[in-house]
Amino acid sequence: METELNLDRLFSPDPAVRDIARRIYQSIKDLPIISPHGHVDPALLSDNKNFPDPARLFIVLDHYLFRMLYSQGIKLESLGIPVTDGSVVESDPRKIWQLFAENFFLFRGTPSSIWLAYEFGVVFGIKEKLTGNNAQKIYDQIQEKINSPEFLPRALFDRFNIEVLSTTDSPADSLEHHKKIRESVWGKKVIPCFRPDGVTDLSNSRWKSNINALEKVVGYEIDSYLKFLQALAERRAFFKEMGATSTDHGVFSPYTHELSVNEAETIFQKALNGKAELKDARLFDAHMLMKMAEMSIDDGLVMQIHPGSFRNHNPVIYERFGPDKGCDIPLQTEYTLNLKELLNKYGNNPALTIIVFTLDETTYSRELAPLAGHYPAMKLGPAWWFHDSIEGMIRFRRMATETAGFYNTVGFNDDTRAFVSIPARHDLARRIDSNYLAELVCKHILSLDEAMELAVDLTYNLVRKTYKL
């Protein structure tokens, strides 16, 4: 079945709104992409090798896709998802692709279907909708293209018009791939982001081995809390030298509380001896958010807080496949009380920028928008993860704008591991914002000139300014 992407997709059926949305979108659709937060492996761009096959490109690394398939009883092993013990999983990419195609209908109505339609239609020029019947033909079409020089990662980076791409990296990462990119003649901007969760979250089952890895990279034993702080400060400085402009903190809760040095030392020693309890981990997390804010004031790195996800909710999947396999589930989250200590101490400081995200949409109008609409240091991150969607983006704008305004938000980030989905995600965000602004014009809340100016700010200027790019 032939299918064409409708030029008015995601715009209002109301002709007055739709006409203005078109005009706004046309003014921003070709602006460069800035991707200030994501999870693309920098090795992809440093090695610049052909993608191996369509299954690896689209399915194996994208938990948005395989979590839906798993929910319908399809085993992750049959999709080629590697297991932690090295057991055999499906290795034939054609079989994986066939299984995906036969179940492609499961994505109807989801953001994944919107992104995939763009990837197939715009990036790869495929005009047929994927089904079990045409699966192998489309597989061959994609394979032929990814074997060509035009579909090497760096060529796609250029074609996608990406101006800046930020990865997410642990404190112990050598950043060797970032070094290789910087030293190459390619000359494009791929920067790291400092994410210390693996060593600040004492409840992490790999915490001790992560500390050992950090010791190796700094060259000394981390046998005290103060040595731990020293190591983090040194690594932050290295990341900044390598182009980093931000940190990222994927905490269970946004609870913040400052401990004394002695209190922090006591908990840290308990962790070193394998005796830290969950309450110790939560308290240490709260304290480390305070310390990371303090360090951000000193070194200028923008601080991102991603709270409210119950990571690895399904132990069967976590134990067999490891983290980031689609079983992280949102939690009800409170911000007004939890962030009070942090914001009271640092929120009035113009040298600090804190970008707060949420998976609990009930907090937008009740807590987050009022907080961001007051504290100079705090900004609202875009609709994130499960809400990185058509309705989620609309709800975010409608619930936050009246209280926080547009200029206490930070534009869009794609937060993706799936490299070829980057332009699809940004296109969706640009269309949703264009339509929202068009509605405000039709209601005579904004003039068309204001809406056109805002569209550029939401697409490009705000993200550059907030992330110091």
State how far the alpha carbon of 209 is from the alpha carbons of 119, 198, 223, 292, in Å. Answer: 39, 9, 14, 22
Q: What is the mean pLDDT of each run of 10 residues along the chain (469 residues)?
A: 81 98 98 97 97 95 92 97 94 98 97 96 95 98 98 98 98 98 96 98 95 98 98 98 98 98 98 97 98 98 97 94 92 98 97 98 98 98 95 98 98 94 97 98 98 98 98
State how far the alpha carbon of 246 is from the alpha carbons of 39, 105, 168, 414, 465, in Å. Answer: 14, 38, 10, 15, 12
134, 234: one domain: no
pLDDT value at residue 185: 95
Q: Which of 147, 71, 73 is nearest to 112 (CA)?
A: 71
Total domain count, the chain: 2
Establish if 1 belongs to a structural domain.
Answer: no
Asked if residues 243 and 189 have their Cβ atoms less than 8 Å apart, the reply is yes
Q: How far apart are CA 225 and CA 49, in angstroms?
A: 42
Establish if 355 belongs to a structural domain.
Answer: yes
Q: With H, G, I as helix, E, B as strand and everything else as coil, classify residue 220.
A: coil
Tally of CA atoms within 13 A in the half-sphere of 57 that contains its CB? 25
CATH number at residue 430: 3.20.20.140
Q: How far apart are CA 233 and CA 226, in angstroms?
A: 11
DSSP at 248: E
Q: How far apart are CA 274 and CA 7, in angstroms?
A: 58
CATH number at residue 138: 1.10.2020.10
Asked if residues 458 and 450 have their Cβ atoms less than 8 Å apart, the reply is no
Q: Largest Cα–Cα distance of the chain, in whole Å?
A: 68
214, 334: one domain: yes
Which residue among 151, 170, 201 closes a domain?
Answer: 151
Phi and psi of 371, rounded to 5°? -65, -50
State the pTM of this model.
0.96
Establish if 246 belongs to a structural domain.
Answer: yes
266, 123: one domain: no
Report the Cα 385 to chain-centroid distance in Å: 7
439, 305: one domain: yes
pLDDT value at residue 324: 87
The one-letter amino acid code at 79 reads L
Tally of CA atoms within 13 A in the half-sphere of 276 that contains its CB? 27
147, 167: one domain: no
223, 351: one domain: yes
pLDDT value at residue 1: 52
Q: How far apart are CA 309 and CA 363, in angstroms?
A: 14
Which residue among 111, 129, 151 closes a domain?
Answer: 151
Which residue among 123, 151, 179 closes a domain?
Answer: 151
Sequence-distant (≥ 6) Cβ neighbours of residue 316 within 8 angstroms = none
Establish if 7 belongs to a structural domain.
Answer: no
Q: To which residue do tokens 């997390």 refer? A: 285
125, 230: one domain: no
pLDDT value at residue 2: 52
* Secondary structure of 266-333 in HEC code, one letter for each residue: HHHHHHHCCCCCHHHHHHHHHHHHHHHHHHHHHHCCEEEECCCEECCCCHHHHHHHCCCCCCCEECCC
Checking 108-112 for CB contacts under 8 A at 24+ apart, the result is 110/68, 110/389, 111/64, 111/388, 111/389, 111/390, 111/428, 112/64, 112/65, 112/68
Establish if 5 belongs to a structural domain.
Answer: no
Asked if residues 38 and 166 have their Cβ atoms less than 8 Å apart, the reply is yes
Establish if 141 belongs to a structural domain.
Answer: yes
140, 169: one domain: no
Establish if 292 belongs to a structural domain.
Answer: yes
60, 117: one domain: yes
The tokens describing 457, both together, are 């700010």
β-sheet bridge partners, residue 314: none
Asked if residues 282 and 252 have their Cβ atoms less than 8 Å apart, the reply is yes
Asked if residues 264 and 202 have their Cβ atoms less than 8 Å apart, the reply is no
Q: Which domain holds residue 341?
A: 15-49+160-466
Establish if 8 belongs to a structural domain.
Answer: no
